[in-house]
Each structure stands twice: as structure tokens, then as C-alpha cells.
Amino acid sequence: MTRTALVPEALGEAIQRRREAVGYSRPDLAKAAVVSYPYLYEIERGKKVPSAEALEKIAGALEIEPWRLEEDARELAAAQGLEAPVAKPVVGSAMPQGDDEDAFRGRVDRLTADVMSRVEPIVRDAIIRAIQESR
């Protein structure tokens, strides 16, 4: 299945519907998920898209997998005829004036490789800790 971008309003509605089905008030869910009430309010209103960490916390408090909330949001968006916002391409719009595209892409590739080499050990350690804690 091809993953599509999420419509913030539909994700907020999916969270709100699940919250109400579970019997939580918005303040109760904010407390259980350890997110601020204003942040949760903005998410449910479709004004903000939760970070992956926040979505996991919210889903955990609602006793549902994050992917299920995302699927519910996609189904709601499709039923309501809503379309996800289109992301702007990085290369081209972010390319400094005077640079040619190949040189710019090369710089982006080198910086990406540098960042990934620094992040990979941190992510690997976090995964190892999570596996060990789940045993």
C-alpha cells in the first residue's frame, strides 16, 4: 500500500473520535499521554500535526497503535473528500541563486551522509535499549 500524507483535520478528528469512544475528556487524554492540553487541542482541531513521539504517546494513552489512528485519518479524509497539503520540493525552491542543480544536490547528499553517520549510532542504541526493555 502506498503511504499518503495525512490531512491534519482528519487526524485530529480520528484522535477525537477515539478519545470520546474511550471515555476520556481532552484534559484526561492530555494528562494520560503526557502532552500539554493546548497542544492536544490544536492537534484535534487540525491546526497542528503531532510529532511522531506525541502521536505514539497519544495512541498509547488511547490503547491503539499509531498506525491505526493514521489509517482512520486517511479513511476520514477520503470519505470527506479532503486532500493532504502538498509538500514543496526542497531542491529547486531551496537552491541558492547561482548554484547549478547538480552541485547543489551533491552538497545536499554530502551533508545528508554526514548527518546520517552521526545519527545512526544514536538510533541503533535506542533500538537496542527498547528491545532489551521489552523483554
Q: Which residue has the higher pLDDT, 113 or 85?
A: 113
Contact (Cβ atoms closer than 8 angstroms) between residue 4 and residue 87: no
What are the tens digits of pLDDT across the range 20-48? 999 999 999 999 999 999 999 999 999 99
Predicted pLDDT of residue 2: 37
Q: Are 44 and 16 in contact (CB under 8 A)?
A: yes
Long-range contacts of 116-121 (CB under 8 A, 24+ apart): none
User: For residue 5, which phi and psi values (nearest 5 degrees)?
Assistant: -65, 155
Q: Show Cβ contacts of residue 17 under 8 Å, excluding neighbours closer than 6 positions.
A: 72
Q: Which domains does the chain have, with CATH numbers?
A: 8-80 (1.10.260.40), 90-134 (no CATH)
Contact 58, 23 (CB under 8 A): no
Q: What is the average pLDDT across 109-134?
A: 83
Q: What's the whole-number mean pLDDT along residues 5-25?
A: 91
Indicate whether this model's pTM tops 0.95.
no
| Average pLDDT estimate for 97-106 | 68
Q: Is the pLDDT of residue 94 over 70?
A: no
